[in-house]
Amino acid sequence: MRAILKRQKNVRVLQADVRDIDVDTKEVVLDADRIAYDHLILATGATHHYFGNDTWAESAPGLKTVEDATAIRAELLKAFEEAEREGDTTTLTFAIVGGGPTGVELAGAIGELAHHTLRKNFRAIDPAATRILLLEAGDRLLLAYPEELSSRAGEALASLGVEVRTQTRVTHIKDGVIALETNGETTRVDASVVLWAAGVKASPLGESLGAELDRAGRVVVEPDLTVPAHPEISVIGDLASRGLPGTAPVAMQQGRYVAGAIGARINSKSGHTPLPFRYRDKGNLAVIGRAKAVALLGRFRFWGYPAWLLWLFVHLMYLVMFENRVIVFIQWASSYFTRNRRARLITQAPE
């Protein structure tokens, strides 16, 4: 952040925990300090949503940060190591709860790990014999996509050894045991690792605004993304309730819109009122694995290798700074030809 903004002399970057927003005094409350504001933009995002079963978080972690990814990778690799010691992969089961883009990508990545990255790395077990379950409460994967692309995604996952179970609801998770309900029938599955990708809820900071919240804890905002009765506060991204998907394109467009609206208000002498925010949907992309993805661009639908190349290009172009694009491109090329052997690194200390 500091490197990106180093030439912006009127920008100061601070690392701190925000505890509260005092809307009456117009101050952001930190641990032991307060920062006054004239205009405030809140973009604190979302966290995992366990739908009232927060005790599941310990047994079924989700993926939101780099630290989450590192911890998940360590748990997966440690499960393989334990199976190697026991010489048995029949008990090695990975379960992912949620068949949205995150769940599909997680399942695909684990399939790549088991079938390709770790191939021939062990003596007593065959990683490809691992059981990978993708559990979705709805009637198909990727509900935001057309049914054809959901079907294509299911086929791609099947080629990676992923067992997809739709219309399956998780009723309990504890100590590696998952209770599942399918068409009124309850079953139990022993899982080495359980990962959560079934939903998100907004950052709790939205509660401090005293504004109306929706069921997921998101702030109900005006058409110009400001908080009712507080036009000096704008809420964007996953924290804003606008009926839009919680994706990066939405947050990026909202960020540009709010920046322009604030600038217009400051430069206007007659109380500028911006036009309502309108999201321009440029399409949806979901990656599944190596050369496997689905893409929806208006009326056009892609899958397989063309969709995967499109996914790579779009993500590279949206990276900040040209240097980052070059570095990431080189890293991706290396991962493609080596099948990402660095993914085998366990960075967590043993318990």
Is the pLDDT confidence value at 263 over 70? yes
Of 105, 155, 163, 207, catalytic = 105
Q: What is the pLDDT of residue 42?
A: 97
pLDDT for residue 146:
92
Mean pLDDT of the chain: 90
* Residue 28, C-beta contacts closer than 8 angstroms, at least 6 positions apart: 18, 21, 22, 34, 35, 37, 40
Q: Which residues contact 272 (CB under 8 A, 6 or more apart)?
A: 264, 265
The pLDDT-based confidence of 340 (bands split at 50, 70, 90) is low
Q: Is the pLDDT of residue 166 over 60?
A: yes
Residue 349 clears pLDDT 60, i.e. is over it: no
Residue linked to tokens 């394109």: 249
- Is residue 105 flagged as an active site residue? yes
| Interval 114-149: pLDDT, tens | 998 898 899 999 999 999 999 999 999 999 899 999
Confidence of residue 204 (pLDDT cuts 50, 70, 90): very high
Q: What average pLDDT does this structure show over 9-14?
A: 94
Are 225 and 236 in contact by the 8 Å Cβ rule? The answer is: yes
pLDDT at 270: 63
Residue type, 89: T
pLDDT of res. 110: 95
CATH class in words for 54-198+284-344: alpha beta
CA distances, 96 to each of 91, 133, 136, 242 (Å)? 16, 6, 9, 28
Q: What is the residue extent of each domain of the chain? A: 20-42+222-267, 54-198+284-344
Q: Token pair for residue 347?
A: 């960075």
Q: What is the pLDDT of residues 66-80, one digit of tens each?
A: 899 999 999 999 999
Whether 251 contacts 236, CB under 8 Å:
yes
What is the Cα–Cα distance from 286 to 292, expressed in whole angstroms?
9
Largest CA distance in the chain: 76
Residue 299 — very low, low, confident or very high, per pLDDT cuts 50/70/90? confident
Identify the residue with better confidence: 347 or 119: 119
Q: Are 245 and 199 in contact (CB under 8 A)?
A: no
Res 348: pLDDT: 64
Q: What angle do CA 35, 39, 44 make, to 5 degrees?
A: 75
- What's the whole-number mean pLDDT along residues 282-289? 89
The whole-angstrom separation of Cα 41 and Cα 243 is 19
For residue 267, what are the β-bridge partners? none
- Quote the CA–CA distance of 285 and 304 in Å, as a whole number: 12
Mean pLDDT of 40-46: 94
Q: Quick one: which of 225, 227, 276 has its CA closest to 255?
A: 225
| The token pair that represents 286 in the structure block | 């979901």
Q: Provide the pLDDT for residue 331.
A: 83
Element (H, E) at 6: none
Strands (E), the chain: 20-22, 27-29, 34-36, 40-42, 46-48, 93-97, 131-135, 162-165, 168-174, 177-182, 185-190, 193-196, 200-202, 219-220, 226-227, 230-235, 240-241, 284-289, 292-297, 300-303
For 209-231, how does the pLDDT look when each residue is reduced to its tens digit (9 = 90+)? 999 999 889 999 999 999 999 99
User: Which residues have CB under 8 Å from 93's CB, separation 6+?
Assistant: 130, 131, 132, 133, 189, 190, 191, 192
Is residue 49 within 8 A of residue 199, CB to CB? The reply is: yes
Q: Cα 96 vs. chain centroid, distance in angstroms? A: 14
pLDDT of residue 30: 95
Average pLDDT over residues 291-296: 93
Place of tokens 């004239």: 38
Residue 343 pLDDT > 70: no
